[in-house]
């Protein structure tokens, strides 16, 4: 594996809560970072500026994660700016909630397009273009185990993400590239708080033995571990939820 100062990471959804913290955390370890965004260019630029202000290397690049041409361009940006790609951290995704009986099918299709096809697209590019010693880290969710009502479409999409991750790990035999999924529990992000009452937030926070919500930093620490020293962790789903399940 190359020295961390020579390693390059693409963080999809890098303008979001977990993505931006993960990008900053990887940059602190010495990796050059491509901060990907879909619609949040301004926030991605802020993340890049903060990384550079701390002496790190970063650029922003936009694209629809489910569009193979646009995401190939993101990999091209990484190669032009930094010489190659070693790490893919795929945090981009959406989470509309509704009971299965009530969810609009167009919404269901949009969840699967972004969360499942998007993962397939970026993982396929990573499988083709990552250098030896690389790491692919996909974001799943602890909801696949907690089975909370209204999360049916989202959980279905993340179950697919886990299956893709574990199969890709085995398909990359001999390449020295690890593939894992990280599955956070309830995490204090704007996406999590949206539409929830304080009573529900408090109940979810108390559900794990640590009696608090997770933070983006909790997840970013696990991502940094998998991106760097964790070369013997491969083909796994790591649950980052304070012991909720």
Q: How far apart are CA 216 and CA 191, in angstroms?
A: 12
Catalytic residue among 37, 151, 154, 239: 154
Place of tokens 């701390």: 54
Is the sign of the CA dihedral 65, 115, 20, 194 positive or negative?
A: positive
- In SS3 terms, 51-68 reads as HHHCCCCEEEEECCCCCH
Contact 17, 46 (CB under 8 A): no
**Helix H segments across 83-209?**
105-112, 118-129, 143-146, 152-171, 190-193, 198-205
| 154 flagged as catalytic | yes
Length of the chain counted residue by residue:
245
Place of tokens 């990359």: 172
Active site residues: 154
């Amino acid at each position: 594996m190359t020295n961390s100062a020579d390693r390059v990471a693409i963080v999809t959804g890098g303008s979001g809560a977990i993505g931006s913290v993960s990008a900053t955390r990887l940059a602190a370890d010495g990796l050059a970072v491509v901060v990907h965004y879909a619609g949040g260019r301004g926030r991605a630029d802020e993340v890049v500026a903060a990384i550079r202000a701390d002496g790190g290397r970063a650029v922003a690049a936009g694209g629809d994660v489910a569009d193979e041409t646009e995401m190939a361009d993101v990999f091209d940006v990484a190669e032009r700016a930094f010489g190659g790609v070693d790490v893919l951290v795929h945090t981009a995704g959406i989470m509309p909630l509704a009971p299965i009986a009530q969810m609009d099918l167009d919404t269901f299709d949009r969840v699967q397009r972004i969360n499942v096809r998007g993962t397939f697209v970026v993982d396929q590019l990573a499988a083709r273009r990552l250098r030896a010693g690389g790491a692919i880290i996909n974001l799943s969710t602890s909801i696949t185990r907690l089975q909370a009502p209204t999360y049916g479409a989202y959980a279905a999409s993340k179950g697919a993400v886990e299956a893709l991750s574990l199969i890709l790990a085995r398909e990359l035999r001999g390449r020295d590239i690890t593939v894992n999924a990280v599955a956070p529990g309830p995490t204090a992000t704007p996406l999590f708080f949206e539409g929830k009452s304080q009573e529900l937030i408090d109940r979810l926070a108390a559900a794990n033995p640590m009696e608090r919500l997770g933070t983006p930093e909790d997840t970013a620490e696990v991502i940094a571990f998998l991106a760097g020293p964790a070369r013997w962790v491969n083909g796994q789903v790591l649950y980052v939820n304070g012991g909720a399940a």
